[in-house]
Amino acid sequence: MLAQIAQKASRSAGAKIYLREVERVIGALMASSEFWGVITLSCLPVNTVAEIIKELIAEGLVVQKDHSLELTPKGKGEAQVREISPLADGACKACAGRGLDLSAFNKLLNTFREMVQGRPKAIFEYDQGYVTPETTVARVALLAAKGDIKGKDLLIIGDDDLVSVAAALSRLPRRVAVLEIDPRLIRFIQALADSHHLEIEIYRQDVRKRLPAELCRQFDTFLTDPPETIDALELFLTRGLAALKGPCCAGYFGLTFAESSLSKWLALQQILAAKLKVAVTDIIHNFNEYVNWDYLLESVRKDLSFVQVNPLSNWYRSSMYRVETVEGSYWENLDREDLALYPD
């Protein structure tokens, strides 16, 4: 039964969907009755989950009641036979699974949360969607724990998460610079820097254009959260690497399961290893939590009513990658205006 569902879902998805993935979706449905919650728990791409649930409904294993999804007695029976258990989040409640003690950063978090209240809304044009204030401050704490921020020069590439503001406010870095394309964010960051006497250098920059010479080989650490196509990931990372001083510097970026299949994870890891020649030192599961954004339902498929439901809570997460440069890491700085980075 579940193998047939995997087959049928593969046909409509146009890509192979595995039995194990169907089992994961059922396990997630045992813990969440919400489509978006099932994505978070199953750690599968949005469309894979949608196709599987569509087939589970067609086969009578799941029923859609208003906006929620429930396993039918038939679905529960199948779960029992296959010994599928509910997928729990399982994260440590004290640190939300980030593995960091944030107590030294509470004051920073309170101030930051207050400061960013009037922040610009996330817009589709630049594939924006910003993280919670807790996440932004946790990023500063992570960099601090890794020795990548105190007395160091930090570059943020695309900053709708306002990491530059939290970093400058922490007074830890020696230098904070931001590359940003959205004039609304540039104005907002500049206004906060002015009103709070923060030193933040802001450069209006399309990341497809090569890095300005004055930013090359200048930084100890970069942080970015690129759109999740291989082209965009590689491009943002090459910009970050071109900005770094040399070996023993660090780069941070997020990667999701919701938008990136494991094939894409592997393709990226191959680029990191073979082309960019950086070592992956950390991958912290679900480190980044994003605030739900207004344009979600416009940007996802409209043919399935269980997808066209507003999320009840923040569901979009990404893992935090930390990479470190070695002798021979990539640092070419070429114009790439041939690339299309954002959705059209």
Contact set with Fe ion (CB under 5 A): 92, 94-95
Helix, strand and coil in the chain, % to nearest 5: 40, 15, 45
CA 40 centroid distance within chain: 12
Q: How far is the CB of 95 from Fe ion (least distance, A)?
A: 3
Q: Degrees (nearest 5) of the Cα angle 177, 338, 217?
A: 30
Name the residue nearer to Fe ion (CB basis): 79 or 320. 320
Name the residue nearer to Fe ion (CB basis): 69 or 137. 137
Q: How far is the CB of 38 from Fe ion (least distance, A)?
A: 25
Strands 250-255, 278-289: pairing kind: unpaired
Identify the H or E element spanning 177: strand 175-180
Which tokens is 320 given?
A: 């935090």
Contact 320, 254 (CB under 8 A): yes
Contact 25, 44 (CB under 8 A): yes
Name the residue nearer to Fe ion (CB basis): 211 or 284. 284
Identify the H or E element spanning 71: strand 68-71
Name the residue nearer to Fe ion (CB basis): 94 or 262. 94
Name the residue nearer to Fe ion (CB basis): 99 or 311. 99
**3-class secondary structure, 187:** helix
Name the residue nearer to Fe ion (CB basis): 95 or 339. 95
Q: How far is the CB of 137 from Fe ion (least distance, A)?
A: 16
Name the residue nearer to Fe ion (CB basis): 92 or 274. 92
Q: How far is the CB of 47 from Fe ion (least distance, A)?
A: 32
Label residue 51 exposed, middle or buried (CB < 10 Å: 0-12, 13-18, 19+).
buried
Q: Which residue is nearest to Fe ion (CB)?
A: 92
Q: How far is the CB of 288 from Fe ion (least distance, A)?
A: 16
Q: How far is the CB of 96 from Fe ion (least distance, A)?
A: 8
Phi, psi at 153, each rounded to 5° = -100, 125
Number of H helices, E strands in the chain: 12, 9
Which tokens is 307 given?
A: 């997808």
Q: How far is the CB of 94 from Fe ion (least distance, A)?
A: 5
